[in-house]
């Protein structure tokens, strides 16, 4: 099998920690170039802009966009119009409308578009989905608390409009929730905690309801130090399921069923290989819709200033 050349646009922490290692391990892809004004990868050709990449390297058919969501639309639009396949880091965009526009553009050009939700590729998520499919969900609780200083050092874009704030990690939980629940739920209320001088929340509490009476609560917090918490508990008519460690571990009635190491981005690139081969569009906006609804319904609560 001949590897597909791919370029990474935006060489930051997530690209170095996750994308590059997974591309290296996947025989379907070869990292052929990068686009960054401030960082390079040893031994890989770098360009200052995506326009330069597209003009000078017409032989690279695919790009992975790893820059902040506020800047992603223009790059994705430009790449699609140039006939390239596009992978979008999560969240896929700063607004729902811009992602919908990218879907239409990709469909018109006949190129692949993949909006990734890396937490859906955690080891236990498929098994959790299958287990819940045979049961009636009564309620669920999301507890997603981490230290923003640890995971986003010096990254001010997360506090700006479109950066999502605590929903940057929180949307990972929502991507799992929308994948594993047999029936969809909707946001019914939200409280959003905004630090003084920040345009995005540092904490959020959401309530959801489903058509069959099921309820979901979510507690997102970016101020947790020490051990990090990424848990989803689901109560059903036939036992309680718990996903821990962001979906890497699954227990049923407190008995461990699955416990595996992180392989999320390996799963993303395995899926992208199929999406590219089929020139498919794989874009699920459900997690982003929940975040948008939370902002629409959310009651704003002012909290103390927070410095990075």
108 Cβ partners below 8 Å, 6+ apart? none
10 Å CB burial of residue 77 (0-12, 13-18, 19+) is middle
- Round the average pLDDT of the chain to a whole number and report it: 96
1 falls in which pLDDT band (50, 70, 90)?
low
Of the candidates 40, 108, 47, 53, the one whose C-alpha atom is nearest the C-alpha of residue 79 is 53
Task: Give the model confidence (pLDDT) of 215-257 as tens digits.
Answer: 999 999 999 999 999 999 999 999 999 999 999 999 999 999 9
Catalytic site includes residue 81: no
Averaged pLDDT, 204-218: 97
Does position 17 have pLDDT exceeding 90, yes or no?
Answer: yes
Does position 261 have pLDDT exceeding 80, yes or no?
Answer: no
Tell me, yes or no, if the pTM score tops 0.85.
Answer: yes
Confidence (pLDDT) at 258:
84
Averaged pLDDT, 300-305: 95
260 falls in which pLDDT band (50, 70, 90)?
confident
Domains of the chain (ranges; CATH) run 4-115 (3.40.50.720), 119-259+292-303 (3.30.360.10)
Q: How far is CA 8 from CA 1, 40, 45, 49, in A?
A: 21, 10, 11, 11
Q: What gap in Å lies between CA 202 and CA 220, rounded to an integer? A: 8
The HSE-up count of residue 241 (CA atoms within 13 Å, CB side) is 31
Q: What gap in Å lies between CA 303 and CA 308, rounded to an integer? A: 15
The catalytic position among 81, 90, 136, 145 is 90
71 Cβ partners below 8 Å, 6+ apart? none
């Amino acid at each position: 099998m001949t590897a597909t050349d791919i370029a990474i646009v935006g060489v930051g922490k997530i690209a170095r920690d996750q994308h590059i290692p997974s591309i290296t391990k996947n025989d379907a892809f070869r990292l052929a170039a990068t686009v960054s004004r401030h960082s390079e990868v040893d031994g890989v050709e770098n360009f200052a802009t995506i326009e330069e990449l597209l003009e000078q390297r017409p032989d690279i058919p695919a790009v992975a966009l790893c820059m902040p969501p506020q800047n992603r639309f223009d790059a994705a639009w430009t790449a699609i119009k140039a006939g390239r396949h596009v992978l979008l880091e999560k969240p896929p965009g700063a607004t729902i409308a811009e992602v919908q526009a990218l879907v239409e553009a990709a469909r018109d050009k006949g190129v692949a578009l993949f909006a990734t939700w890396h937490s859906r590729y955690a080891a236990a998520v498929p098994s959790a989905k299958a287990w819940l499919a045979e049961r009636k969900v009564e309620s669920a609780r999301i507890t997603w608390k981490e230290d923003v200083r640890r995971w986003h050092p010096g990254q001010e874009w997360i506090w700006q409009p479109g950066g999502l704030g605590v929903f940057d990690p929180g949307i990972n939980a929502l991507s799992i929730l929308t994948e594993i629940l047999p029936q969809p739920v909707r946001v019914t209320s939200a409280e959003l905690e905004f630090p003084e001088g920040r345009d995005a929340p540092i904490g959020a509490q959401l309530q959801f309801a489903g058509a069959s009476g099921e309820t979901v609560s979510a507690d997102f917090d970016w101020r947790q130090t020490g051990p990090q918490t990424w848990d989803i508990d689901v109560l059903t008519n036939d036992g309680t399921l718990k996903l821990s460690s962001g979906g890497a571990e699954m227990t049923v009635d407190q008995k461990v069923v699955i416990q595996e190491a992180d392989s999320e981005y390996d799963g993303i690139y395995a899926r992208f290989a199929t999406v590219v081969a089929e020139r498919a569009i794989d874009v699920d906006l459900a997690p982003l819709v929940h975040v948008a609804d939370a902002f629409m319904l959310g009651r704003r609560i002012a909290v103390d200033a927070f410095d990075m």
